């Protein structure tokens, strides 16, 4: 069996990431432009907050009909990508 190159795996992952990120949209007239799961008014920060406060993916899916596991995965990926572009500098108090 032939081994797949790291490049082929990276391209496949990028294509998967792209399809996930297409599930997230932001429009000024919907939720004040906050990123939402396409076709809903569920914002990425709201769904991440549910996860952060202990809700499981299955609980969220049960509560919000029509939401999919991939939608939640897309929220996590969106947040991860957003944080990659942000610098976190220590506050003055932390630096002392």
Structural domains present in the chain: 27-85 (1.10.10.10)
Could you report the per-residue pLDDT of 33-87, keeping only the tens digit for each? 999 999 999 999 999 999 999 999 999 999 999 999 999 999 999 999 998 877 7
Ramachandran angles phi, psi of 43, nearest 5°? -80, 155
The model's pTM: 0.75
Ramachandran angles phi, psi of 37, nearest 5°? -70, 125
| Res 91: pLDDT | 64
Q: Give alpha helix (H) positions in 24-89.
A: 44-52, 57-63, 69-84
How large is the C-alpha radius of gyration of the chain? 17
């Amino acid at each position: 069996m032939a081994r797949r190159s790291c490049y082929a795996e990276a391209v496949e992952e990028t294509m998967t990431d792209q399809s996930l990120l297409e599930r997230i949209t932001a429009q000024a007239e919907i939720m004040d432009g906050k990123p939402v799961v396409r076709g809903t008014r569920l914002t990425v920060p709201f769904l991440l907050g549910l996860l952060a406060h202990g809700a499981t993916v299955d609980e969220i899916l049960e509560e919000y009909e029509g939401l999919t596991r991939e939608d939640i995965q897309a929220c996590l990926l969106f947040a991860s990508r957003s944080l990659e572009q942000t610098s976190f500098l220590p506050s003055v108090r932390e630096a002392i």
